Amino acid sequence: MSQKSIILDGKKVADDIKDEIAQEVEILVSGGGKRPHLAAILVGDDGASQTYVNNKIRACKRVGFEYTLLNFPETISENKLMSEIERINADDDVDGLIVQLPLPEHISSSKVTERIMPEKDVDGFTNLNYGKITSKNPGLMPATPYGIVELLKRYDIDILGKHCVMVGNSRTVGAPMSIIMSYHENATVTVCHIHTKNLEEHTKKADILIVATGKPGLIKGDMVKEGVIVVDVGITRITTDENDRGYYLKGDVEFEEVEPKASYITPVPGGVGPMTIASLLLNTLKASKNRAQLKQA
Query: Contact at 8 Å (CB) between 142 and 125?
Result: yes
**Which of 9, 95, 121, 123 is labelled catalytic?**
123
Q: How far is Cα 38 from Cα 92, in angstroms, rounded to an integer?
A: 12
Clarify whether 95 is annotated catalytic: no
The answer for residues whose C-beta is within 8 angstroms of residue 135's C-beta and 6 or more apart is none
32: left (phi over 0), alpha (psi -120 to 50) or beta: left
Catalytic residue among 56, 120, 250, 261: 56
Has 296 been annotated as catalytic? no
Q: Residue 49: in which H helix or E strand, if any?
A: helix 47-63
Amino acid at 180: I
Cβ–Cβ under 8 Å, residues 211 and 231: yes
> What is the dihedral angle through the alpha carbons of 112, 114, 118, 124, rounded to the nearest 10 degrees?
80
Catalytic member of 18, 95, 100, 232:
100
Whether 123 sits among the annotated catalytic residues: the reply is yes
- Catalytic residue numbers? 56, 100, 123
